[in-house]
């Protein structure tokens, strides 16, 4: 099988400060643009070669922080619009397709189990930063544009879940972070018509080291490791088990009161299967309190 570009890209994100605490009643709304470009590696026995993808995504997201049993809990939702081109040689014949439409909606619920006590903005401003241990559940719903007759789709036509735990440790102005999670995928029962496409769990480990220059202004150096995720179609296995490594850098900049921006750049380092792609994203975010 060729690829599901969007699903593999979304499963290999690099996200520092994922468990940063915030006071109860905080709201964030943001608009993000991402550009991804690179090769897609497939089973070498298939008659499909030289696959290259250029993908653009514009996402609108919202996060709210609320009090649950004394803990500050974050609930977020993001809805992307995706457009891009995928080209390659099928039986040595050049082929190119264009896709544009709504992508799969992503939901995330996160809580800091240690260092995440529910606080008012005033209490939060007086706190002494310390070790944070958090947990989260990300859910990807099959809301994206999907056509069973197409090999390349924006939506994945399946549910996906990612339970994750993370730890963040401040060291002066520096911070060190690690997160461990696993993507769990439901089946796509309408793959290339009525075929069933299944995917094994995909483990994900992220490491981040960053420096805070002042509140809101920080830089982080990122690394990600991904293993597993082999697929089968109607019970027949594909040689596409992932064993990939990515690296990148993220810069957050305060713009004006309540507004901030974030720039992130990443690239594949060691890629066995999936997308060996470059990624650049720019996000603008506004914060306010209830």
Mean pLDDT of the chain: 90
Q: Which of 25, 108, 26 is nearest to 285 (CA)?
A: 26
Instruction: Say what percent of the chain tops pLDDT 90.
Output: 71
Amino acid 1: pLDDT = 32
Q: Per residue in 26-60, pLDDT tens?
A: 999 999 999 998 877 665 556 677 788 899 999 99
How do the domains of the chain map onto residue ranges?
Answer: 5-284
* C-alpha–C-alpha distance, residues 99 and 107, integer Å: 24
**Which residues have CB under 8 Å from 204's CB, separation 6+?**
11, 12, 162, 164, 179, 180, 181, 182, 183, 224, 225, 226
Q: In this model, does residue 62 exceed pLDDT 80? A: yes
The answer to whether residue 10 scores a pLDDT higher than 70 is no
Q: CB under 8 Å to 105, separation ≥6 — which residues? A: 77, 78, 79, 140, 141, 143, 144
What's the confidence (pLDDT) of residue 188?
94
Question: What pLDDT band is residue 276 in, cutting at 50, 70 and 90?
Answer: confident
Burial 67-86 (b: 16+ CB within 10 A, else e): eeeeebbbebebbbbbebbb
C-alpha span between 263 and 176 (Å, rounded): 19
The per-residue pLDDT for 239 is 83
Question: Would you say domain 5-284 falls under CATH 3.60.10.10?
Answer: no
Can you give the pLDDT at residue 44? 58
| Stated pTM of the model | 0.91
β-bridge partners, 109: 75, 137
pLDDT in tens, 111-149: 999 988 999 999 998 989 999 999 999 999 999 999 998
Output the six-digit token pair for 117: 């006590």
Give the per-residue pLDDT at 5.
42
pLDDT of residue 211: 98
Q: How far apart are CA 111 and CA 106, in angstroms?
A: 17
């Amino acid at each position: 099988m060729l690829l599901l570009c969007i699903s593999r890209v979304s499963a290999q994100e690099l996200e520092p400060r994922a468990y940063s605490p915030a006071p109860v009643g905080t709201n964030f709304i943001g608009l993000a643009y991402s550009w991804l470009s690179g090769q897609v590696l497939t089973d070498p026995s298939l008659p499909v070669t030289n696959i290259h993808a250029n993908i653009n995504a514009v996402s609108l997201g919202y996060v709210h922080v609320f009090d649950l049993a004394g803990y500050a809990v974050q609930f977020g939702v993001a809805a992307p619009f995706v457009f891009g081109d995928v080209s390659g040689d099928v039986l040595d014949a050049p082929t190119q397709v264009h896709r544009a439409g709504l992508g799969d909606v992503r939901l995330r619920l996160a809580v800091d189990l240690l260092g995440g006590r529910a606080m008012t903005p005033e209490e939060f401003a007086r706190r002494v930063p310390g070790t944070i241990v958090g947990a989260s559940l990300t859910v990807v719903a099959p809301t994206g544009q999907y056509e069973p007759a197409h090999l390349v789709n924006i939506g994945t036509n399946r549910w996906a879940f990612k339970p994750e735990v993370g730890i963040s440790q401040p060291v002066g102005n520096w911070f060190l972070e690690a997160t461990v999670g696993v993507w769990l995928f439901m089946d796509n029962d309408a793959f290339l018509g009525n075929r069933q496409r299944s995917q094994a769990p995909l483990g994900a480990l992220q490491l981040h080291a960053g420096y805070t220059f002042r509140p809101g202004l920080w830089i982080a150096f990122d690394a990600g490791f991904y293993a597993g995720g082999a697929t089968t179609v109607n019970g027949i296995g594909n040689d596409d088990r992932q064993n990939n490594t990515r690296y990148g850098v993220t810069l957050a900049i305060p713009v004006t009161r309540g507004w901030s921006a974030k720039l992130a750049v990443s690239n594949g380092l060691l890629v066995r299967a999936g997308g060996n792609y470059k990624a650049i994203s720019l996000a603008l975010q506004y914060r306010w309190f209830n």
